[in-house]
């Protein structure tokens, strides 16, 4: 088997089945010798901010001299990014080796009554096997969707993190914040501490209830820890002053606060020593591709993978803060299974923002929304260009040097656009 054949095997698997369950994943891992039981890990759930929180943590842990593995999705450039060690994706041969281990088990399970593993279950199992074979000091594991029935939710972490909770994947997770929060809270385990960046009373009520039931200590942003207006991190025992984030975006302040609280707790659990000056340097040097990433100048061009309503709301908050007096061109491609009308309504609100809607080749059978699907008001407010390259060219010709261009709407879209800027 070669690398291309391994990827075809993975991507050829079903993506979803009707009934949410962890039984298939549990059986799959049992057949593989339960590799998930051998790792130390932090489990990270949330609607937005998972990737940024992991990016901050990864840099902080690595710079303390410890080895850190990450499991994230989706990838921006190559599949291998999903499993990495100290920021370096695993190599092609390791992907092949992992697929060759799991393939016979998958084929065996395919013959059983309930069928074999789904695509994400396979990738998750590959990650567990990899970190069993190649141990690291800590693994940061990002939830795929939700939490309760996510295929990562089959191990006991040393800390559970829930960044925030908003409206996304409602067809799977539910149509109210308490329902969505219940799914996210599914990662909370017996006596495993929980750190959250959630602020909504409806969400916190769910998290508090679940944490109490599981005897899990819950740390809440704004109550137990925070970053104040002077950029000082504070919790009950610690003050870290004059922080400067390497990640652009107003919303990154909360993600940074969550990651620092997690780092402090990790250090206490694992008896690590933290040098706060080194920690501040790590935070300053943190980067995260596709999230408020500057890829061009004059005009400034920003890539931001805001792919749901909370993400777009956070993006507009940053636009309003950073560029209140500049003309901002937004090039957006949004998948049609998202709340696209509400997302676009947020984007067109600021008077200095011009929105161009475009298309791209979405993942699998998922399609980007077309102008014909918009409300009549949005059709008047939004310009549409089918070809994103043509749309971007049109914007660049129109924009002046001190204007700003933001490309957004989907991480999959960002992964298609980004190679045109990053050489």
d(CA 165, CA 161): 12
* DSSP annotation string for 134-149: S--SEEEEE-SSSSTT
Comparing CA positions, the residue from 104, 133, 98, 134 lying closest to residue 116 is 104
Residue ranges of the domains in the chain? 3-285, 293-420
H or E, element range at 240: strand 239-240
- Between strands 328-332 and 353-359, the pairing is parallel
- Give yes or no on whether 3-285 and 293-420 have one common fold: no
Q: What CA–CA distance (Å, rounded) separates 378 from 356?
A: 11
CATH code of 293-420, in short, is 3.90.190.20
Q: Is residue 187 within 8 Å of 197, Cβ to Cβ?
A: no
Query: What is the per-residue pLDDT for 170?
Result: 60
Which phi and psi (to 5°) does residue 411 adopt?
A: -65, -30
Residue in the block written with tokens 């809440």: 220
Q: What is the pLDDT of residue 20?
A: 86
Strand ranges inside 143-235, DSSP E = 159-162, 194-196, 218-220, 225-227, 233-235
- 136 and 91 Cβ atoms separated by less than 8 Å: no
- Contact at 8 Å (CB) between 2 and 130? no
Q: What's the pTM value of the predicted model, to 2 decimals?
A: 0.88
Measure the CA–CA gap between 395 and 331, rounded to whole angstroms. 8
- Tens-level pLDDT at each residue, the chain (423 residues): 999 999 999 999 988 777 789 999 999 999 999 999 999 999 999 988 899 999 999 999 999 999 999 999 888 889 999 999 999 999 999 999 999 999 999 999 999 877 899 999 999 999 999 999 999 999 999 999 889 999 999 999 999 999 998 776 666 777 798 899 999 999 999 999 999 999 999 999 999 999 999 999 999 999 999 999 999 999 999 999 999 998 888 878 999 999 999 999 999 999 999 999 999 999 999 988 888 899 999 999 999 989 889 889 989 999 999 999 999 999 999 999 888 999 999 999 999 999 999 999 877 778 999 999 999 999 999 999 999 999 999 999 999 999 999 999 999 999 999 998 865
Spatial neighbors of 215 by CB under 8 A, at least 6 apart, are 190, 191
The two beta strands, 159-162 and 41-45, are: parallel
User: Which of 58, 78, 42 is CA-nearest to residue 288?
Assistant: 58
In angstroms, the Cα distances linking 208 to 2, 214, 268, 357 are 48, 10, 23, 40
CATH number of 3-285: 3.40.1190.10
Q: How far is CA 35 from the centre of its chain?
A: 24
Q: Which two tokens stand for residue 129?
A: 């096997």
- Helix/strand/coil percentages in the chain, nearest 5: 45, 15, 40
């Amino acid at each position: 088997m070669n690398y291309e054949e391994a990827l075809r095997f993975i991507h050829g698997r079903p993506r979803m089945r009707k009934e949410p369950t962890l039984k298939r994943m549990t059986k799959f891992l049992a057949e593989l010798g339960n590799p998930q039981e051998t790792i130390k890990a932090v489990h990270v759930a949330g609607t937005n901010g998972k990737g940024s929180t992991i990016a901050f943590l990864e840099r902080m842990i690595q710079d303390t001299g410890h080895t850190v593995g990450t499991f994230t999705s989706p990838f921006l450039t190559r599949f291998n990014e999903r499993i990495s060690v100290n920021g370096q994706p695993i190599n092609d041969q390791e992907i092949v080796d992992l697929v060759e281990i799991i393939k016979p088990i998958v084929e065996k399970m395919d013959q059983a009554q309930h069928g074999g593993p789904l695509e994400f279950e396979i990738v998750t199992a590959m990650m567990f096997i990899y970190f069993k074979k190649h141990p690291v000091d800590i693994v940061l594991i990002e939830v795929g969707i939700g939490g309760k029935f996510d295929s990562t939710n089959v191990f006991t972490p040393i800390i559970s993190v829930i960044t925030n909770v908003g409206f996304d994947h409602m067809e799977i997770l539910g149509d109210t914040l308490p329902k969505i929060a219940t799914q996210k809270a599914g990662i909370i385990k017996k006596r495993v501490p929980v750190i959250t960046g959630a602020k909504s009373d409806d969400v916190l009520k769910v998290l508090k209830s679940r944490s109490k039931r599981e005897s899990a200590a819950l740390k809440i942003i704004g109550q137990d820890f925070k970053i104040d207006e002077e950029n000082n991190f504070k919790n009950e025992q610690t003050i870290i002053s004059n922080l400067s984030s390497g990640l652009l975006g107003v919303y990154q302040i909360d993600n940074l606060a969550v990651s620092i609280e997690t780092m402090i707790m990790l250090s206490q659990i694992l008896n690590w020593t933290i040098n706060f000056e080194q920690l501040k340097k790590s935070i300053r040097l943190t980067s995260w591709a596709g999230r408020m990433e500057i890829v061009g100048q004059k005009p400034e061009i920003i890539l931001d993978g805001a792919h749901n309503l909370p993400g777009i709301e956070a993006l507009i908050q940053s636009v309003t803060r950073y560029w209140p007096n500049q003309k901002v061109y937004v090039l957006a491609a949004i998948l049609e299974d998202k709340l696209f009308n509400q997302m676009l309504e947020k984007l067109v609100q600021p008077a200095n923002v011009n929105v161009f809607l475009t298309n791209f080749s979405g993942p699998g059978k998922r399609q980007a929304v077309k102008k014909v699907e918009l409300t009549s008001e949005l059709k008047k407010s939004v310009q549409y260009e089918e070809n994103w390259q043509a749309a971007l060219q049109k914007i660049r010709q129109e924009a002046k040097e001190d204007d700003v261009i933001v490309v957004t709407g989907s991480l999959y879209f960002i992964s298609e656009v980004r190679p045109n800027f990053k050489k």
